[in-house]
Amino acid sequence: MEYTSRGLKRRRNTDKWEVTLSHRDPLTGEQVSSYHTVEAKTRKGAERARKELIRELERKGAACTSKMTLAEFLDEFIEYKQESKTVEQSTIVGYRKDARVVKRYLGATPLSEVTIPVVSGWMAKMTKEGYAPRSVGKAFALLRQAMKHAQAQDLIVKNPCDFCKPPKLQRKKVPSLDRGERTRMLKLARDAEPTPLALAIELALTTGMRRGEVCGLRWSDIGEREVTVNHTIGLDSGTPYEKTPKTSGSRRIIPLTGHLWAVLKAIEKDKRYVSAELGVPFGDPYVLGTPDPQSRPYHPTRLTREFKSFCRMNGFKCTFHDLRHTFASMMIAGGTDVRTVASYLGHSNVAMTLNTYAEVDPDAKRAAVGKVDDAFDIDLEGIFKEPEPPALALEFTVEQLELMLAEARRREEGTA
């Protein structure tokens, strides 16, 4: 049976709330009111408690008749994940984006009617309409997680997503700049230093840092020819906020090139001097952000926009994230072991690095043959020559051959 809220009132000076619900009696067909008590410190908390109460009552009275739509449940699920503080705010932003895709196709479907054929048909339709396998897979992953939550609350008997498979991901070659292009870009960036965009380009090309990590870099993170990744800038509905790296591997120390370290220290010295002259505390501002104590970071969206303009003006065809791919590719092509590359990139495990950069530079593959030569004490580069057929040896003297011919003639005359 379905319950409808008719009122929510707080008892004075307590954390208890009176909930009034109504439902239709299955025997008489009359509307019946019922009164319940929930506890919460805020009205928003009381509203969540009321929803939980309604779910429990509907479950006991046959949850399958509930008219809760998938769109409504997805909204509640995302709200629950946000309130639980178990995921980053940037993850919540991604959930909302993927939820919009699911709701566009299945939002009006009652939760109890989301079946295996419905889920499979939905993914097939997305694929037919041109969605990439990765996009379909992300939306499916959110739906699967939400349906698992529904199953845990006894709102559904089984999770239909457990019996469906998203489209197989297609491995694509990781985009990166070749030696000539990355050298040209670095020269252009150095000519434009110390602008935030130029420094961001050199940081990404020579350290492999992510966009948010570059924007979140503070002066306290710059050490003796090294940088420590302690912060990153995330976006929530377009608004930047600082957060810690999502994994322990993402929080890492990266060596700096001599040129970049010298440039950063010179910039820091100038900024400290200006702050002292103005009598303003230097604090710990963002390297690429505003210099004031309440420093604002270089907005990631602005960085992307300015980098696009830079590429368009100079004939580059890449994204800012491709600079990270370029760094990883050139490190692997240069013979750096994969574990070291993974530590530079902040990957949680080496397998992630291998899966992403499985395609190695062809020149590096050809150069690797030299390492095979070094592993043996014989010449492996010698060109194979087919041996010449041996000359027939002269086994008889001339006198012997003449006697043999004379004998052959006598035999012929005797037979004649």
pLDDT confidence of residue 317: 93
Residue type, 230: N
Which stretches of the chain drop beneath a pLDDT of 70?
1, 25-29, 59-67, 246-249, 355, 358-396, 415-416
Residue type, 274: V
8 Å CB contact between 284 and 218: yes
**CA 329, 330, 331 angle in degrees (round to 5)?**
90
Residue 400: which residues within 8 A CB-CB, separation 6 or more? Answer: none
8 Å CB contact between 59 and 153: yes
For residues 88-125, one letter each, b for 16 or more C-beta atoms within 10 angstroms of the residue's C-beta and e for the rest, the string is eebeeeebbebbebbbebbbebebbebeeeebbebbee
Q: What is the DSSP letter of 110?
A: B
Query: Per DSSP, what are the bridge partners of residue 218?
Result: 286
* CA-to-CA separations, 277 to 112, 198, 270, 272, 274, in angstroms, rounded: 68, 27, 11, 9, 5
pLDDT confidence of residue 64: 40
C-alpha R_g of the chain:
36
Q: How many CB atoms lie within 10 A of CB 6?
A: 13
Query: Per DSSP, what are the bridge partners of residue 236?
Result: 239
Query: Per DSSP, what are the bridge partners of residue 226?
Result: 255
Q: Is the pTM of this model over 0.85?
A: no
67-170: which CATH topology? Answer: DNA polymerase; domain 1 (1.10.150)
8 Å CB contact between 1 and 59: no
pLDDT confidence of residue 374: 64
Q: At what angle do helices 43-60 and 70-84 cross, to 10 degrees?
A: 130
Instruction: Measure the CA–CA gap between 371 and 367, rounded to whole angstroms.
Output: 8
8 Å CB contact between 150 and 72: no
Query: Per DSSP, what are the bridge partners of residue 239?
Result: 236
pLDDT confidence of residue 408: 79
Instruction: Measure the CA–CA gap between 138 and 56, rounded to whole angstroms.
Output: 30
Joined together, the tokens standing for residue 387 give: 């041996």
Residue 322: which residues within 8 A CB-CB, separation 6 or more? Answer: 175, 176, 177
Q: Write the DSSP string, 349-375.
A: SHHHHHHHS-S--HHHHHHTHHHHHHT
Q: Indicate the CATH number for domain 179-362.
A: 1.10.443.10
Q: How many CB atoms lie within 10 A of CB 35?
A: 10
Q: How many CB atoms lie within 10 A of CB 416?
A: 5
